[in-house]
Amino acid sequence: MKLHGMAHRYKTILDLPVHQQPDSMHQLIALLAEAESEHRDSHRTMRNLKRSKLRYDATMEEVICSPERNLSKDIIIKLSDCSFVKKGENILICGASGVGKSWLACAIGRMACAQGYEVLYLRMNKLISELREARLDGTLTKKLRSMERAQILVFDDFGLQKFDSEMRLILMDILEDRYNKGTTIVTSQLPVAKWYETLGENPTAADGIMDRLTARAHRIELKGKSMRKKNPA
């Protein structure tokens, strides 16, 4: 029956001295049910984390909040219940190199995995190369479907290279399919106001992409010195 958590707890209880074992059948059943629930939650979290391919093993508890970083505890608390996923809201994280953008995005992703959401981390430059290859070998539809299944997509290092017409249309399709149905977390060294410039020469497509990214979004602009020689959060 694959009740591994329940079986392990039951064996543990049997190994206890008689006077430490549950006093009633009701108490025993409650303990076994609790153990099975905890086991399944843990297994689900580990499965989600493995599939997410998050770059950093970051946690929200390690994220440093301070006025110098322009990051408040209020925004962390606001994001902690992952209600932004149900609302289809995006998270846009900007800042200079080394201020902890990717770390924060991964911490949010890890938190979401623990709450049962499917997350997929993607480095933007690598993703563009993979999408081009998939377009050539006929696997683009399969690639896009694998991305569509994720309730949270993390686009890391957005804007390091400009989008050509083909990649711009693909990105538009990805965001259109996710609009109001999933969350996209974007990190970038560029401020949001300059993202438009990286989207190429088609103003209509650029407007559509920016509208879908920014219309329902939490914006975080990290500041301060590089954290690479300190705590990465």
Q: What is the pLDDT of residue 41?
A: 65
pLDDT given at position 127: 92
- Supply 64's token pair: 């440093």
Please write the tens of the pLDDT for every residue from 159-190: 888 888 888 889 999 999 888 889 999 999 99
Residue with the two structure tokens 């543990």: 12
Does residue 203 carry a pLDDT above 90?
Answer: no
Each residue's pLDDT tens digit, 107-146 = 999 999 999 999 999 999 999 999 999 989 999 999 998 8
Instruction: Kindly indicate the confidence band of residue 36, based on its pLDDT and cuts at 50, 70 and 90.
Output: low
What is d(CA 191, CA 170) in angstroms, rounded to the nearest whole number? Answer: 22
Place of tokens 């010195």: 225
Q: Determine contact, residues 115/82, Cβ cutoff 8 Å.
A: yes
Give the CA angle between residues 126, 99, 147 to the nearest 5°: 30
- Residue 62 predicted with pLDDT over 80: yes
- Per-residue confidence band for 48, with pLDDT thresholds at 50, 70 and 90: confident
